[in-house]
Structure 1
Amino acid sequence: MYKYQRCTRCVMDNKSDRTITFDNKGYCNYCSDVIKRMPTSYFPNEEGKKLLDATIKQIKSECREDKFDCLVGVSGGIDSSYILYLGYQYNLRMLAVHIDDGLDNPVAVENIKKLINKTNTHLITLKPDHEEYADLLKALFKASVPNLAIVQDNLIVKAIDQYGKDNNIKYSLDGNNIAHESILEHGDGNVNFCDKKHILAIHKKFGEMPIKKTEFITLSDRYLKRSFLSSLKHIRPLNYISYNLEESIKKLNEFCGFEYYGGKHYESILTRFLQCYYLPEKYGADKRKSHYSSLIVSGQMTRDEALRKLEEPLYLSQDLLDSDKKFLADYMGVSLEQLDAWINLPPKKQSDYPHSLLNEMSPIARKFRKIIE
Structure 2
Amino acid sequence: MKKFQICSRCVMDTTDSAITFDTNGVCDHCNTFDTKVKPNWHTGERGEQELRQLVEQIKASGKGKDFDCIIGMSGGIDSSYLTYIATEFGLRPLVFHVDAGWNSQEAVNNIEKLVDKLGLDLYTEVIDWEEMRDLQLAFFKSGVPHIDAPQDHAFFATMYKFAEQHGIKYILTGANLSTECIRNPIEWMYYQSDSIQLKDIHAQFGTRPLVNYPTTSILRHKIWLPYVKGIKVVRPLNSVEYDKAAAVKLLVEKFGWQPYPQKHFESRFTRFYEGYWLPKKFGFDTRKVQFASLIVTGQMTREEALEKLKTPALDEVTVRHEFEYVANKLRITTDELQGYMDAPNKTYKDYRSQETFYMLGARVMKVLGLELGGKR
Query: Structures share a fold, TM > 0.5?
Result: yes
Q: How does 1:1-373 map to 2 (within 5 A)?
A: 1-14=1-14, 16-39=15-38, 41-188=40-187, 191-315=190-314, 317-356=315-354, 359-373=355-369
- Kept after mapping to 2: 8 A contact 1:189/1:352: no
Cα deviation 1:141-181 (Å, max 9, x = unaligned): 11111011101111111122111111111111111100001
Q: Which runs of 5+ in 1 are unaligned?
A: none
Aligned residues: 369
Deviates most, 363-372 or 172-181: 363-372
Q: Retained in 2: the 8 A contact 1:97–1:159?
A: no
Higher mean C-alpha deviation, range 226-235 or range 289-298 = 226-235
Per-residue deviation at 1:372?
Answer: 3.8
Structure 1 residues 201-229: Cα deviation after superposition (integer angstroms, max 9, x where no partner): 11111111121111211121122223422
Partner AA of 1:353 in structure 2: Y
Secondary structure of 1:205's counterpart equals helix
Q: In the superposition, relative to structure 1, how do residues 62 and 207 fare at CA in structure 2: closer, same or farther (>3 Å)?
A: closer
* SS in structure 2 of the partner of residue 179 of structure 1: coil
Question: Per-residue deviation at 1:109?
Answer: 1.0
Asked whether the 8 Å contact 1:191–1:351 carries over to 2, the reply is: no
Structure 1 vs Structure 2 CA RMSD:
1.6
How far did residue 361 of structure 1 move?
A: 3.9
1:181 alignment partner, SS class: coil
The alpha-carbon deviation at position 329 of structure 1 amounts to 0.8
- Per-residue Cα deviation, 1:244-292 (whole angstroms, up to 9, x for no partner): 1110001111121100011111111111111111111111111011000
Q: Counterparts of 2:159 and 2:217 in 1: how far apart (Å)?
A: 14
Q: Cα offset for 1:187?
A: 4.0
1:54-97 deviations in Å (ceiling 9; x for gaps): 22122223322222111100101001111111112122111111
Structure 2: runs of 5+ lacking an equivalent: 370-376
Identity of aligned residues (%): 34
TM-score w.r.t. the length of structure 2 is 0.94
Does the 8 A contact of 1:10 with 1:297 survive in 2?
yes
Superposed CA offset, 1:99-156 (max 9, x none): 1112111111110111111111111111111111101111111111101110111111
Q: Cα distance, 1:360 vs. partner?
A: 1.9
Alignment check: 8 A CA contact 1:190 1:349 kept: no
Task: Provide the C-alpha distance between the structure 2 equivalents of 1:190 and 1:74, rounded to a whole number of angstroms.
Answer: 21
TM-score normalized by the length of structure 1: 0.94
Structure-2 change in CA distance of 1:39 and 1:191 (3 Å): closer
Q: Distance in 1 between matches of 2:230 and 2:282?
A: 40
Shift of 1:31: 1.6
